Amino acid sequence: MTEHLMTTTRVWEVHEQVFQKLKALGQFPYPEIYEKLFYSIINESADEELTKILGKNFSLCEKVENTINYLEIVQMLLSSFTESHSDIARIASIQQGHLERSTPKNSECIVMVENLTLLGEELSIKLKKADEKIKMVNHKLEEAIKEATVDPLTQALNRKALNEDLNSIIAAGDDKPLNLILLMLDIDNFKGVNDRYGHITGDKVLQYLVKLIKTVVRTTDKVYRFGGEEFLIVLNRCQIDTALVISEKVRLAIAQNKLISNGETIQLTVSIGVAAHQAGDTLDVMVECADKALYKAKGYGKNKVVLSDRMS
């Protein structure tokens, strides 16, 4: 075996080892990284003959005639990176085009790969900017959705959100009852609170009420501001017995807690009407049933939970 053939064969073996290490590290074959690993493998193998032939300070692409092997490795790594990240596909095709159009001489190898590296770095910068822009747009979209569906004062959901959330669910119960229950809640004597303490304190009462309700209901339950001091609590996937227990917990939590505003203690109570879904119910029908039960709770002296007549 001639010295040239020995060198080419051994270089190809080192190429394969470098490729395996780069693949294991998930590294792109940048020239200086590739060459550093190449030197490292030769030094670790203590291949004195190859080191002597190549020279102590050899330039990889200038001294190794069989540079096409290195280009094949670049192509294989590009395929690997393309499979692992779709965003690399565009730059991979550009790099592939460079490889297919080029029949590089040994002295051109490093320059060509460095150009490919610059393309990769440019793509990385563009991807980062695109990712930042996507995050910004998503944030603005989330804010817009929140503004459209959340009551700005109480942070409860609004009637628009109620319609969007429940109409699709209720549509599935056209021919069968659903485990869906509405609690219509109204603050007792709220007008007196506004008259005595003012509307700013009245707003604080509404905010306080929603926060307190959210600490009592289940994490899957939703609270909507229906209008003024009226709120709807939607219990999905809930049996009537459980709904009555939750309603009573809400009523007691509000009755047993006091709000202090401007040095004044405000005692609140609420009345709650409960209505369960029946086959064929629309959202309007359920709200009407819950509202009638609420009206009865008020008539029974307030601070009470009343179940809709059709469930009695």
Q: Is 229 a catalytic residue?
A: yes
280 and 221 in a single domain? The answer is yes
Q: Domain of 285?
A: 159-311
Q: What is the mean pLDDT of residues 110-134?
A: 66
Of the chain, the percentage scoring pLDDT greater than 70 comes to 62
146 inside domain = no
The one catalytic residue in 62, 122, 229, 288 is: 229
Kindly give, in sequence order, each residue whose CB lies less than 8 Å from that of residue 94, ignoring residues fewer than 6 positions away: 119
299 and 196 in a single domain? The answer is yes
Residue 235 — very low, low, confident or very high, per pLDDT cuts 50/70/90?
Answer: very high
150 inside domain = no
139 inside domain = no
pLDDT in tens, 133-145: 767 766 666 666 6
Please report the pLDDT score of residue 37 as a whole number.
Answer: 75
Please report the pLDDT score of residue 232 as a whole number.
Answer: 97
183 inside domain = yes
198 and 105 in a single domain? The answer is no
Count of domains forming the chain: 2
pLDDT in tens, 143-161: 666 667 899 899 999 999 9
pLDDT in tens, 222-233: 999 999 999 999
170 and 276 in a single domain? The answer is yes
Tokens of 253: 């939590």
77 and 169 in a single domain? The answer is no
Residue where a domain stops, chosen among 114, 131, 148: 131
117 and 200 in a single domain? The answer is no
Residue 214 — very low, low, confident or very high, per pLDDT cuts 50/70/90?
Answer: very high
119 inside domain = yes
176 and 293 in a single domain? The answer is yes
173 and 215 in a single domain? The answer is yes
Residue where a domain stops, chosen among 95, 114, 131: 131
232 inside domain = yes
Residue where a domain stops, chosen among 91, 114, 131: 131
Please report the pLDDT score of residue 62 as a whole number.
Answer: 44
71 and 201 in a single domain? The answer is no
pLDDT in tens, 20-50: 777 777 666 665 676 677 777 777 766 666 6
Average pLDDT, rounded, for the chain = 77
154 inside domain = no
Residue 302: is its pLDDT beyond 90? yes
256 and 176 in a single domain? The answer is yes
CATH number at residue 257: 3.30.70.270
Please report the pLDDT score of residue 291 as a whole number.
Answer: 96
